[in-house]
A and B are shown apart, each in its own frame.
Chain A
Amino acid sequence: EDQVTQSPEALRLQEGESSSLNCSYTVSGLRGLFWYRQDPGKGPEFLFTLYSAGEEKEKERLKATLTKKESFLHITAPKPEDSATYLCAVQARGTGNQFYFGTGTSLTVIP
Protein backbone atom coordinates (compact mmCIF):
# COMPACT_ATOMS: atom_id res chain seq x y z
CA GLU A 1 0.00 0.00 0.00
CA ASP A 2 1.28 3.44 -0.92
CA GLN A 3 2.12 5.50 2.15
CA VAL A 4 3.42 8.94 3.01
CA THR A 5 4.73 9.78 6.50
CA GLN A 6 5.81 13.23 7.63
CA SER A 7 7.87 14.12 10.68
CA PRO A 8 7.89 15.83 13.03
CA GLU A 9 4.18 16.54 13.53
CA ALA A 10 5.01 19.95 14.95
CA LEU A 11 8.15 22.06 15.07
CA ARG A 12 8.87 25.29 16.92
CA LEU A 13 11.88 27.31 15.82
CA GLN A 14 13.40 30.58 16.87
CA GLU A 15 13.66 33.11 14.08
CA GLY A 16 16.90 32.38 12.21
CA GLU A 17 17.17 28.78 13.51
CA SER A 18 17.48 26.50 10.47
CA SER A 19 15.93 23.02 10.40
CA SER A 20 14.52 20.30 8.15
CA LEU A 21 11.16 18.61 7.70
CA ASN A 22 11.00 14.99 6.58
CA CYS A 23 8.66 13.16 4.21
CA SER A 24 9.22 9.43 3.80
CA TYR A 25 7.26 7.47 1.23
CA THR A 26 6.64 3.96 0.04
CA VAL A 27 5.12 3.85 -3.43
CA SER A 28 5.46 1.41 -6.27
CA GLY A 29 7.00 3.73 -8.82
CA LEU A 30 7.23 7.41 -7.95
CA ARG A 31 5.81 9.73 -10.55
CA GLY A 32 6.36 12.90 -8.55
CA LEU A 33 6.72 14.25 -5.01
CA PHE A 34 5.09 17.56 -4.15
CA TRP A 35 5.45 20.02 -1.28
CA TYR A 36 2.64 22.37 -0.31
CA ARG A 37 2.24 25.11 2.28
CA GLN A 38 -1.09 25.53 4.07
CA ASP A 39 -2.00 28.58 6.13
CA PRO A 40 -4.83 28.35 8.71
CA GLY A 41 -8.25 28.49 7.08
CA LYS A 42 -6.80 28.31 3.56
CA GLY A 43 -6.29 25.69 0.88
CA PRO A 44 -2.81 24.22 0.33
CA GLU A 45 -0.51 26.23 -1.92
CA PHE A 46 2.02 24.56 -4.19
CA LEU A 47 5.73 24.95 -3.43
CA PHE A 48 7.81 22.33 -5.28
CA THR A 49 7.72 19.24 -7.46
CA LEU A 50 10.55 16.68 -7.42
CA TYR A 51 10.68 13.82 -9.89
CA SER A 52 13.86 11.84 -9.36
CA ALA A 53 16.40 11.01 -6.65
CA GLY A 54 19.09 13.65 -6.35
CA GLU A 55 16.86 16.46 -7.56
CA GLU A 56 16.79 19.71 -5.59
CA LYS A 57 14.56 22.80 -5.82
CA GLU A 58 14.91 26.14 -4.03
CA LYS A 59 12.63 29.05 -3.33
CA GLU A 60 13.71 31.86 -1.02
CA ARG A 61 14.47 30.23 2.37
CA LEU A 62 13.15 26.81 1.34
CA LYS A 63 15.02 23.98 -0.34
CA ALA A 64 13.52 20.60 -1.18
CA THR A 65 15.58 17.48 -1.83
CA LEU A 66 14.66 13.95 -2.87
CA THR A 67 16.15 10.50 -2.32
CA LYS A 68 14.73 7.11 -3.26
CA LYS A 69 12.85 6.83 0.03
CA GLU A 70 12.37 10.34 1.40
CA SER A 71 12.31 14.03 0.80
CA PHE A 72 13.50 16.87 3.00
CA LEU A 73 12.29 20.43 3.14
CA HIS A 74 15.14 22.51 4.50
CA ILE A 75 14.29 25.89 5.99
CA THR A 76 17.22 28.28 6.27
CA ALA A 77 17.06 31.22 8.69
CA PRO A 78 13.25 31.07 8.98
CA LYS A 79 11.09 34.12 9.63
CA PRO A 80 7.74 34.28 11.47
CA GLU A 81 5.95 34.47 8.11
CA ASP A 82 7.20 30.96 7.34
CA SER A 83 4.88 29.66 10.06
CA ALA A 84 2.39 27.29 8.39
CA THR A 85 1.63 23.61 7.91
CA TYR A 86 3.80 21.96 5.26
CA LEU A 87 2.27 19.05 3.39
CA CYS A 88 3.99 16.42 1.31
CA ALA A 89 2.20 14.45 -1.42
CA VAL A 90 3.24 11.71 -3.81
CA GLN A 91 1.88 10.59 -7.11
CA ALA A 92 2.52 6.97 -8.01
CA ARG A 93 2.58 5.39 -11.45
CA GLY A 94 -0.49 3.38 -12.34
CA THR A 95 -2.79 5.08 -9.81
CA GLY A 96 -4.86 7.04 -12.29
CA ASN A 97 -3.38 10.42 -11.37
CA GLN A 98 -4.15 10.11 -7.66
CA PHE A 99 -2.14 12.05 -5.09
CA TYR A 100 -1.48 10.67 -1.58
CA PHE A 101 -0.86 13.19 1.18
CA GLY A 102 1.01 13.00 4.46
CA THR A 103 -0.48 14.45 7.64
CA GLY A 104 1.77 17.51 7.54
CA THR A 105 4.25 19.31 9.78
CA SER A 106 3.00 22.35 11.65
CA LEU A 107 5.83 24.89 11.77
CA THR A 108 5.88 27.82 14.19
CA VAL A 109 8.66 30.38 13.96
CA ILE A 110 9.00 32.52 17.06
CA PRO A 111 10.30 36.09 16.69
Chain B
Amino acid sequence: NAGVTQTPKFHILKIGQSMTLQCTQDMNHNYMYWYRQDPGMGLKLIYYSVGAGITDKGEVPNGYNVSRSTTEDFPLRLELAAPSQTSVYFCASTQVTGELFFGEGSRLTVL
Protein backbone atom coordinates (compact mmCIF):
# COMPACT_ATOMS: atom_id res chain seq x y z
CA ASN B 1 0.00 0.00 0.00
CA ALA B 2 1.60 3.28 -1.14
CA GLY B 3 -0.28 5.57 1.31
CA VAL B 4 0.38 9.26 0.55
CA THR B 5 2.73 9.99 -2.34
CA GLN B 6 4.27 13.40 -2.96
CA THR B 7 6.23 14.59 -5.98
CA PRO B 8 8.73 16.05 -6.49
CA LYS B 9 10.88 15.27 -3.44
CA PHE B 10 13.23 18.16 -4.15
CA HIS B 11 12.94 21.24 -6.37
CA ILE B 12 14.67 24.55 -6.90
CA LEU B 13 12.54 27.38 -8.20
CA LYS B 14 13.46 30.86 -9.30
CA ILE B 15 11.70 33.91 -7.87
CA GLY B 16 8.53 34.61 -9.83
CA GLN B 17 8.20 31.13 -11.29
CA SER B 18 5.19 28.92 -10.63
CA MET B 19 4.94 25.23 -9.94
CA THR B 20 2.64 22.51 -8.66
CA LEU B 21 3.39 20.06 -5.89
CA GLN B 22 1.57 16.82 -6.46
CA CYS B 23 -0.10 14.70 -3.77
CA THR B 24 -2.04 11.50 -4.21
CA GLN B 25 -3.40 8.97 -1.69
CA ASP B 26 -4.73 5.46 -2.24
CA MET B 27 -6.59 5.01 1.07
CA ASN B 28 -9.89 6.54 -0.10
CA HIS B 29 -9.60 9.24 2.57
CA ASN B 30 -11.99 12.17 2.34
CA TYR B 31 -9.82 14.67 4.23
CA MET B 32 -6.57 15.95 2.79
CA TYR B 33 -4.19 18.64 3.99
CA TRP B 34 -1.17 20.65 2.92
CA TYR B 35 1.28 21.78 5.59
CA ARG B 36 4.56 23.62 5.44
CA GLN B 37 7.31 23.01 7.98
CA ASP B 38 10.00 25.56 8.72
CA PRO B 39 12.80 25.09 11.28
CA GLY B 40 11.54 25.83 14.78
CA MET B 41 8.06 26.74 13.52
CA GLY B 42 6.23 23.45 13.51
CA LEU B 43 3.69 22.44 10.91
CA LYS B 44 1.49 25.23 9.56
CA LEU B 45 -1.71 24.43 7.67
CA ILE B 46 -1.88 25.95 4.20
CA TYR B 47 -5.08 24.47 2.73
CA TYR B 48 -7.29 21.51 3.42
CA SER B 49 -10.13 19.63 1.74
CA VAL B 50 -13.01 17.64 3.22
CA GLY B 51 -13.85 15.94 -0.06
CA ALA B 52 -13.73 16.21 -3.83
CA GLY B 53 -14.72 19.69 -4.97
CA ILE B 54 -14.40 21.25 -1.49
CA THR B 55 -11.36 23.17 -0.28
CA ASP B 56 -10.72 25.71 2.45
CA LYS B 57 -7.94 27.99 3.67
CA GLY B 58 -5.76 27.14 6.66
CA GLU B 59 -3.45 29.38 8.69
CA VAL B 60 -1.03 30.44 5.90
CA PRO B 61 -2.79 30.31 2.48
CA ASN B 62 -1.31 33.41 0.84
CA GLY B 63 0.69 32.64 -2.30
CA TYR B 64 -0.85 29.19 -2.74
CA ASN B 65 -3.82 27.60 -4.45
CA VAL B 66 -5.32 24.12 -4.38
CA SER B 67 -7.89 22.05 -6.20
CA ARG B 68 -9.56 18.72 -5.41
CA SER B 69 -11.13 17.24 -8.52
CA THR B 70 -10.86 13.62 -7.28
CA THR B 71 -10.76 11.89 -3.90
CA GLU B 72 -7.20 10.72 -4.57
CA ASP B 73 -5.44 13.92 -5.70
CA PHE B 74 -4.81 17.23 -3.95
CA PRO B 75 -2.24 19.34 -5.81
CA LEU B 76 -0.76 22.53 -4.33
CA ARG B 77 -0.01 25.36 -6.72
CA LEU B 78 2.59 28.03 -5.97
CA GLU B 79 2.09 31.19 -8.00
CA LEU B 80 4.88 33.77 -8.38
CA ALA B 81 7.29 32.01 -6.03
CA ALA B 82 9.01 34.09 -3.34
CA PRO B 83 12.00 33.23 -1.10
CA SER B 84 9.58 33.09 1.87
CA GLN B 85 8.08 29.98 0.29
CA THR B 86 11.32 28.04 0.75
CA SER B 87 10.19 25.24 3.02
CA VAL B 88 9.38 21.57 3.35
CA TYR B 89 5.84 20.82 2.26
CA PHE B 90 3.88 17.86 3.61
CA CYS B 91 0.66 16.44 2.30
CA ALA B 92 -1.49 14.38 4.67
CA SER B 93 -4.81 12.57 4.66
CA THR B 94 -7.25 11.08 7.15
CA GLN B 95 -10.67 9.48 7.24
CA VAL B 96 -13.30 11.57 9.08
CA THR B 97 -11.31 12.14 12.23
CA GLY B 98 -8.24 10.36 13.41
CA GLU B 99 -4.59 10.05 12.75
CA LEU B 100 -3.05 11.83 9.81
CA PHE B 101 -1.06 9.86 7.26
CA PHE B 102 1.78 11.97 5.87
CA GLY B 103 3.78 11.84 2.68
CA GLU B 104 7.58 11.97 2.68
CA GLY B 105 7.63 15.70 1.98
CA SER B 106 8.63 18.00 -0.89
CA ARG B 107 11.67 20.18 -0.22
CA LEU B 108 11.37 23.44 -2.13
CA THR B 109 13.99 26.15 -2.44
CA VAL B 110 13.18 29.50 -4.05
CA LEU B 111 16.23 31.46 -5.23
Contacts and interface: CB of A to CB of B under 8 A. Distances in A.
Interface residues of A, number: 24
Contact of A43 (B45, B50, B102): B102
B53 interface: no
A99 B42 contact: no
Interface in B34-82: 35, 40-45, 48, 50, 56, 58
Contact of A103 (B42, B48, B105): B42
B43 A32 contact: no
A41 to B, nearest CB: 8
A31 to B, nearest CB: 7
Interface in A78-111: 87, 89, 91, 96-104
Nearest to A88: B42
A59 interface: no
Contacts of A89: 43, 100
Contacts of A36: 100
Nearest to B102: A43
A11 B87 CA distance: 24
The 5 closest A-B pairs by CB, nearest first: A43-B102, A46-B99, A103-B42, A101-B43, A101-B42
Interface of A: 9, 31-32, 34, 36, 41-46, 49, 87, 89, 91, 96-104
10 contacts: A9-B40, A32-B97, A41-B105, A42-B105, A44-B90, A87-B42, A89-B43, A96-B50, A97-B94, A102-B42
